[in-house]
Amino acid sequence: MVISKGGIKFALVSRWAFPYHQGGIPMHNYFLLELLKDEMDVALISSQNEQNDSYYSKRHITFNGISANLPLVYWRMAKKKFLQNGLRSLQDWRISLAMAKAIKSQSTNVIEFMDIHSEGYAYLRQNPRRNRKTKVIIRSHTPWGLLRSYYSNEERQGFDGWWSFNRENYCFRTCDAITTPSQDLKNNLIKLYNLPEEKITVIPNIVDTNHFMPMPRMKDDQPFTILHVGRFERAKGVITLVKAFIEFAKIYTKCKLINVGQTRGSSYEQCHELLKSAHMIEKVKFTGFVSYENLPLCYADADVVIVASEIYESFSYTVAQAMACGKPVIASRIGGIPETLDFGRLGFLFEPGDQNSLMDMLSYVYNNKVKDISKRAHDYAVNKFSFEKLGTIYNNYYLCQ
């Protein structure tokens, strides 16, 4: 048996733990394991795939892979959306059972689950608090019970799993502790699930400020460049962004809009038609997916970064990364985003869906030097979200469980 470095054996359990994956939950899992592995024995229980197996073995992190996804034929047979919701619920339950089984092979003091898909549900059912010796922590990013109200009924079809809220509620109420990346999410969890305040600890997400840092632009003679990073879908505020950009570009013609990320649903078609009708399509570029390694280059070429979300976000990696890169940020006043921007002192906030306000703020950034804000935002990101700042905080939290 391996002797634990800090007296703690820690197991992270999540189907999403791919190395360097761009996106909130995978990035947090990856960074957390990197932070903790020098202070305690860490293990990962996650999706069985070659990428995970190869990477984590090289990093001396014990990896236990699971595979419990339903066969594709089930999804092809379920033509109606409500049946797909049922299949998603069944698949989540199967994965939760597989995780609970895998945990039995690990000798751990502390287990952490994600709130997504209530992955800890089966383990918590099988191991009531009165009987278990292992501490169970849930890292809440954004529970479905909170997020679902921001989607339309049509948008929820196909992934609104049956009994999602009941499972989340059970997990939150029967685990030992919860962490959130923002005070706003903590407040929402207390209200929505009737949880005691002392059960929840706020610890920000980690941003690699040695990777995301101020860099020179590729070309100095570029037009004013507006950057959007994230899924190109209605809920991310892309229609509001495109409408504001069209009005902005009518006045300030030397500009362009860069969209980094995958397009989804009808939003791309709608935005494409809006841009085409306004004769602005040549000013807009859709890059598709950009790797984590190359993402800082996108920030480097931007004059301003827009996060126009119209759904709840507990923490915006795009906001934090842009700040770390020394770029001015204009973001919607929703969820934990204002906290990331120090409540507007280090960037600009507008009401979700308000294209006129967004256009006004774009004009302000265009016409005014905002280098002072950008410098303070960079310093804040380093002092608030960096490995150096959060390493001790995370290690102390888990070592004290």
Domain boundaries, the chain: 9-206+387-399, 224-384
pLDDT > 70: percent of the chain? 96
What secondary structure letter does DSSP report for 208? -
2 has a pLDDT exceeding 70: no
Instruction: Please give the Cα distance from 341 to 312 (Å, whole number).
Output: 16
Question: Mean pLDDT: which of 55-59, 76-80, 152-156, 324-328 is highest?
Answer: 324-328
Instruction: Output the pLDDT for position 162.
Output: 82
Cβ contacts of 14 within 8 Å, gap of 6 or more: 25, 29, 45, 46, 113, 114, 116, 119
CATH topology assigned to domain 224-384: Rossmann fold (3.40.50)
Q: Which CATH superfamily, name and number, covers 9-206+387-399?
A: Glycogen Phosphorylase B; (3.40.50.2000)
Question: 65 pLDDT band (50/70/90 cuts)?
Answer: confident
Which whole number is the average pLDDT over 55-70?
A: 82
9 has a pLDDT exceeding 70: yes
Instruction: Output the pLDDT for position 81.
Output: 76
Fold match between domain 9-206+387-399 and domain 224-384: yes
325 has a pLDDT exceeding 90: yes
Which of 130, 137, 190 is closest to 400 using CA atoms?
137
Cβ contacts of 392 within 8 Å, gap of 6 or more: none
Instruction: Output the pLDDT for position 305.
Output: 98
Name the helix (H) or strand (E) containing 226. strand 224-229
Instruction: Output the pLDDT for position 326.
Output: 96
Which of 91, 84, 70 is closest to 157 using CA atoms?
84
143 has a pLDDT exceeding 60: yes
Threshold 0.85, pTM exceeds: yes
Low-confidence winner among 145-149, 306-310, 375-379 (lowest mean pLDDT): 145-149
Question: 263 pLDDT band (50/70/90 cuts)?
Answer: confident
Which whole number is the average pLDDT over 200-222?
A: 91
Question: 3 pLDDT band (50/70/90 cuts)?
Answer: very low
Name the helix (H) or strand (E) containing 65. strand 62-66
